[in-house]
Amino acid sequence: MKRMLLVVGAIGLSAAMLGTAFIGSQWRSTQDRQDLLAPFYQPPVLIPAVPGTLIRSEPLDVSVPGATSYRVLYSTQRPDDSLAVSSGMVFVPTSPAPPGGRPIVAWAHGTLGQGAPCAPSRSTTPLSDTANWLNQMMKLGWIVTATDYAGLGTPGPNLYLVAEAEVRDVVNSVRAARNLVGTEASNRYVVWGHSQGGHSALWSGHLGPALAPELRLLGVAAAAPAAELNQIVGAQWNTAVGWGIGPEVAQSWPVVNASLPLNGVLSPQGIDSAAELAQECIGSTTLTVQLLARLAMGQTFFVENPSRNASWKAMGQAQTPDPLPASMPVLVGQSTADEVVLAWPNALLQELWCAAGSTISTIWVGEVSHQLTAETIGPEAVRWIADRFAGRPALRTCQMAPPVSAAANEQ
């Protein structure tokens, strides 16, 4: 028995050493790549004062059939109107532009982590989440922009789930694309996003027209949007999801609301690790190992449901989009099997927005993970966006009740 224990221990130690060696090798490779990319992302000494000014661009080494792909750096603004820079990507069809110029789809990505390697334009997988719709958009002759968001890949802070920051970065990516030579872009655009990006898209319907009156926002589309924030947080605060998104929220929300308390809301382990964990990319080996270890030890990021704390509840409500007016068409797609942005909060959104008179179309799918929702409903989103660019009337699907109860799991 003693010998067996020694053998098992040796195997475990060897596995741990191999895992550590793999993580170390992975880190070194990532760091080398980021060092090579760093000069492109360095802001100029004087950031251009006009939001959406293109600071620099270069070819992006990805394969998108029928498209020329660019990495871009452009000027944007924070909620207090201070200047910032955001990076991103622009995909331009190689086919001739139609009369009046190419319409634009502004893509807003989901939660990825706040470290520089997590930014899509700096990532080794920049086309993640774009299957089933990006190629179609190129065939249809649309420009696609994809902001990284300011502070993600560029100097921070990255203001995660802060509407006025996200929307400025999204809208200014459209302006940057119009300033890129050879795009022949029109002033018509639609915002399309997933998860955190769905939050960005819905808020763009409210804030976009005033931020960029020279542009025509024709509608917004969202896959599994993180919209009803207090309901989502209330259901997920003590789960793995709390560890996944909690650090980014804890690093972002106090920047715009300095009175937001951390002690008594975040656990001691959450407070100690928030800054470090926020820098890890979602899905990375390092983050996965850390989260599994913390869950195994029974640790939670929050010590209580943040939505039961008055200050956090008010912040969550302030960052939850109200129903859009009937004049701004909206598409929302949601999976009933989503374990991150649960189905019932977006069933609640559907009921509230329908009651308020929003021109909302909903797509409900089953047996689809959170990560695959945008790709799954992508073809339907393309058709819906095509109708917006063609000037066809938007439909409401409010006669169809959501397939889950809007209050089934509310806490």
Query: Can you list the domains of the chain with their CATH numbers?
Result: 54-228+325-390 (3.40.50.1820), 230-316 (no CATH)
Radius of gyration of the chain (CA): 22
Task: For residues 199 and 220, give the distance between their C-alpha atoms in angstroms, rounded to a whole number.
Answer: 10
Question: Which pLDDT tens digit goes with each residue over 93-141?
Answer: 999 999 999 999 999 999 999 999 999 999 999 999 999 999 999 999 9
pLDDT at 24 (0 to 100): 53
What band does 16 get if pLDDT is binned at 50, 70 and 90?
very low
Asked if pLDDT for residue 15 goes beyond 50, the answer is: no
Asked if pLDDT for residue 274 goes beyond 90, the answer is: yes
Task: For residues 16 and 12, give the distance between their C-alpha atoms in angstroms, rounded to a whole number.
Answer: 6
Question: Which pLDDT tens digit goes with each residue over 135-165?
Answer: 999 999 999 999 999 999 999 999 999 999 9
pLDDT at 11 (0 to 100): 35
Asked if pLDDT for residue 182 goes beyond 70, the answer is: yes
pLDDT at 407 (0 to 100): 82
Asked if pLDDT for residue 371 goes beyond 70, the answer is: yes
Asked if pLDDT for residue 409 goes beyond 50, the answer is: yes
The crossing angle, in degrees rounded to 10, of helices 240-256 and 229-236 is 140
What band does 410 get if pLDDT is binned at 50, 70 and 90?
very low
Give the mean pLDDT of 67-91.
98
Length of the chain: 411
Task: For residues 155 and 189, give the distance between their C-alpha atoms in angstroms, rounded to a whole number.
Answer: 28
Question: Which pLDDT tens digit goes with each residue over 310-326?
Answer: 999 999 999 999 999 99
What band does 27 get if pLDDT is binned at 50, 70 and 90?
low
- Is the CB of residue 335 less than 8 Å from the CB of residue 376? yes
* Token reading at 231: 């309901």
Tell me how far CA of residue 339 lies from CA of 174, 239, 285, 328, 334, in angstroms.
Answer: 32, 10, 20, 29, 11
- Is the CB of residue 346 less than 8 Å from the CB of residue 224? yes
Higher-pLDDT residue of 186, 290? 186
User: pTM of the predicted model, to two decimals?
Assistant: 0.92
Task: For residues 69 and 59, give the distance between their C-alpha atoms in angstroms, rounded to a whole number.
Answer: 6
Asked if pLDDT for residue 26 goes beyond 50, the answer is: yes
Q: What are the helix (H) ranges across 71-195? A: 134-139, 163-179
Asked if pLDDT for residue 59 goes beyond 60, the answer is: yes
* Token reading at 39: 């000069």
Asked if pLDDT for residue 411 goes beyond 80, the answer is: no
What band does 5 get if pLDDT is binned at 50, 70 and 90?
very low
pLDDT at 31 (0 to 100): 84
Higher-pLDDT residue of 33, 123? 123
8-state DSSP, 142: -
pLDDT at 29 (0 to 100): 67
CA torsion through residues 14, 18, 21, 23, sign: negative
**Hey, how many other C-beta atoms are within 10 angstroms of the C-beta on 50?**
11
What band does 8 get if pLDDT is binned at 50, 70 and 90?
very low
Residue 137 CB contacts under 8 Å (≥ 6 apart), including other chains: 91, 105, 144, 382, 385
| Coil/strand/helix, residue 74 | strand
Question: Which pLDDT tens digit goes with each residue over 34-54?
Answer: 999 999 999 999 999 999 999
Tell me how far CA of residue 54 lies from CA of 13, 85, 168, in angstroms.
Answer: 51, 10, 15
Give the mean pLDDT of 238-246.
94
% of residues, the chain, pLDDT over 90: 87
Give, for 40, the enclosing helix (H) or strand (E). helix 2-41
pLDDT at 1 (0 to 100): 32
Q: Are strands 102-108 and 185-194 parallel, antiparallel or unpaired?
A: parallel
Task: For residues 35 and 184, give the distance between their C-alpha atoms in angstroms, rounded to a whole number.
Answer: 33
What value does the mean pLDDT of the chain take?
92
